[in-house]
Structure 1
């Protein structure tokens, strides 16, 4: 059913839902548009509406081939909406759900597009603050890029900042998606451009591996890993690409590249990635090893035929999220962990990707294999020990046995 949005736009059908609102296919004076209608509780917040209007100039002025442009901002009664360019395609999360991981050339090309979009935003003084696959759209109508990739555009600029108003959140709150949050946000520092670089490096890691480097399990555990753990190498990718990922996933914001540098470096790597197949690595178990009992299976049963696979980074964290939504609710608000909470349970290194079929170190399967090996070694030791004792006893019996009477010896002389 069609509905009017302000005096210039008509929304016809829902394209997807997110944590901040609902995206509609709409029509405006200049043709088809996408209309993001923010949640009613947001539109009723007068402080947020005022901030929304203040951000109008920055959002409307952000134009780039790899950014979904905002054409208009509508404040009309209970309606608070962003009118954006309509991208004919899908989002990167949907692509990941279908393919699990991408070939390195396509993954790097998509990340380079997003980095170019971020560079334009950062130059205009705008920090995205919620870079994730759900907020990357793929233009299916444009020409194909390296590795058969579609042109990537970053969307939802300003939404996280609009939601994160002083009245709605306190300094002790975190706004964002746990899998992609930079360590400085977890520690309560204000977000700067470097948080987008960290999030984009996390997205690139996910495109290559099929899972995020620090995700899985309870959101609080994910936040702690961002601060306390280091990422381990992905097997099978060139060292130059890995070093680039490591630099952009650095805990210290100053150590990360700027968006323009990252985009240029990624494009330089494309020739060496040509023809390389997707990586063959297994996803670590969803729950951290320390949170599961020794005898509890770590891996979930396979999904029923025809059902989509729910992977890390797409886990609903907002109450009432619907798994069928194309733009999944992964945006959440959490308390900033205290320093002792961040220090607790640190393992030093994130759960390592591994060759397909091999158990992850620290997992229940790995512990079971280790126990069996230890038991086998113990049994072998007992057998060897028993054999050694038997040999020693036999030798001792030979040394202490009385001389045998052959029947030819002379009687003892008294």
Structure 2
């Protein structure tokens, strides 16, 4: 029986000059890999998608830039580092399959991620939601834990090197290739043709050409998180030297103020701030410590997540997405910006315990006759932003009426913030008693978050002074002073928030002389 002869493979295409002096390997056969198309170009490598013939799968191939391939010491370091990283195997790391050479081309074959990197997502969709950003941070942290345990430092954490697959998986790319940057002076980086995308996320010690460790990666992750949440990195400059000066000498902008119209969990704000400390000793000392902070922050919102994070931080992030993803994104950016100055503070602090002893009040009792036009929205966050838009008493009451504080700690947190806003509205109207009544819902409750209670007490001091009620003002000032000292000793980040949100005339007098 005659069988048809197998058709020979077509001869490999010759590399072509794309007109810019660079070689385009599209159509070229590199060993077992048929190059299909070029995906992009970087300062150090061209990236292609290829078909691995033996396994019938798509892979990504990074080919070292032609001018760098002529430096033998550079090539050897590239190959040695890449082989070491190829041993890493983790769900949040883009897997390296092979390091090879064909003719004068040095390449890395790695997992092909069908999706986009975070730089592309930022440019297309703008800032990430808090839940998405936390999921990214947890995924990158897991990747850094695996790398740290293997003695590998990434050295180039940035949005371009964090991938999101179509299934929502977080993947850190460029382990190995990025490691070539370790310890190089800033001038060498510019000589290598790197874009500002790398210095923009570098740690101060890396900018200075010092030896770096995993704490440098944590700094870069902090810069990346700031960019994802704010829409711009904390430091920007026109050239690498000016960028280095900013990283070394300037403090980052306030993340809370930078992110317009969105609530940020205060544990997340504090975490990013700590990651951005100038000296490695002041930062978190390991990705394991960061993972613990993420775990603790999420379980503030829901203790039930503690069991999940005990076995899988990534699984906890998936739950966090489901629980905390707010549909308030449907509101226009205009109303979100308007809401910013109305927020008494930001953050999803654990505030649900205080609501357990509150009496349930019917909707009819809480909402006045003119409140029938208050539309019920899908979440407490969306209801809060709508109340900020219209700024009416019935709209603020709807936050805790339509979304019971007893149902979740998130609802309880928005309820107490809405009560603060309601008091603020009554105070502006000169309606002192309704303002005090709104604050009385939580101000004496030891289970309520201390920062909330202090803001309420500061309002009461201000209102009492406006009414020339010296005795009442003195009583609340005394209570506030004790709480101020407690907060100063236990939570400096919240103390800073208090000074930004409390009446200045009250807060300034609380500072130690």
| Greater mean deviation of Cα atoms: 191-200 or 253-262 | 253-262
Equivalent residue, structure 2, for 1:133? 159
Kept in 2: contact 1:214–1:225 (CA 8 A) = yes
What is the aligned partner in structure 2 of residue 156 from structure 1? 174
**Residue deviations 1:359-401, cap 9 Å, x none?**
xxxxxxxxxxxxxxxxxxxxxxxxxxxxxxxxxxxxxxxxxxx
Deviations 1:308-347 (A, max 9, x none): xxxxxxxxxxxxxxxxxxxxxxxxxxxxxxxxxxxxxxxx
Larger RCO: 1 or 2 (CA < 8 Å, sep 6+): 1
Query: Which region of structure 1 is more displaced relative to structure 2, 65-74 or 24-33?
Result: 24-33
The gaps in structure 1 that reach 5 residues or longer are 143-149, 283-414
Give the structure 1 partner of residue 240 of structure 2: 219
Residue 251 of structure 2 corresponds to 230
TM-score (norm 1): 0.61
Matched, 1:2 2:27: yes
Larger % of helix: which? 2
SS in 1 for 2:109: strand
C-alpha RMSD of the superposition: 2.4
Shift of 1:174: 5.0
Equivalent of 2:106 in 74, 80, 90 = 80
In the other structure, the counterpart of 2:297 is 269
Decide whether aligned partners of structure 1 residues 11 and 197 sit closer, same or farther in structure 2, where only a CA change above 3 A counts.
same
The Cα of 1:163 is off from its aligned counterpart by 5.5
Measured after TM superposition, the shift of residue 230 of structure 1 is: 1.5
Asked if 1:24 is matched to 2:48, the reply is yes
Query: Shift of the alpha carbon at 1:267?
Result: 4.2
- Matching residue within 236, 255, 264 for 2:282: 255
How far apart are the structure 2 equivalents of 1:180 and 1:151? Answer: 22
For 2:97, what is the secondary structure of its paired residue?
strand
SS in 1 for 2:255: coil
Q: Is the 8 A contact 1:105 1:270 kept in 2?
A: no
Q: 2:39 aligns with which of 15, 19, 29?
A: 15
**Where do residues 1-400 of structure 1 align in structure 2 (5 Å cutoff)?**
1-5=26-30, 7-28=31-52, 29-30=54-55, 31-140=57-166, 142=167, 150-162=168-180, 173-174=188-189, 177-235=198-256, 236-257=263-284, 258-270=286-298, 272=301, 274-276=324-326
CA distance in 2, matches of 1:42, 1:163: 13
Deviation at 1:232, TM superposition (A): 3.5
CA gap 1:88/1:132 in 2 versus in 1, 3 angstroms: same
Do the aligned partners of residues 205 and 179 (structure 1) sit closer, same or farther apart at CA in structure 2, a change above 3 Å counting?
same
**Separation in 2 of the partners of 1:65 and 1:158?**
17
Q: 1:170 to 1:152 in 2, by over 3 A?
A: closer
Cα distance in 2, alignment partners of residues 107 and 162 from structure 1 = 28
Contact 1:108-1:270 within 8 A present in 2 as well: no
2: CA distance, partners of 1:245 / 1:162: 26
- 1:24 Cα deviation from its structure 2 partner: 0.7
Aligned residues: 270
Segments of structure 2 that go 5 or more residues without pairing to the other structure are 1-25, 257-262, 302-319, 339-513
Q: Tell me, in whole angstroms, the C-alpha distance in 1 between the residues paired with 2:230 and 2:180.
A: 32
* Secondary structure of residue in 2 paired with 1:55: helix
Assess, with a 3 A threshold, how the Cα gap between structure 1 residues 65 and 212 changes in structure 2: closer, same or farther.
same
Which structure has more strand as a fraction of its residues? 1
Alignment check: 8 A CA contact 1:23 1:34 kept:
yes
> 1:56 & 1:200 partners in 2: Cα distance?
21
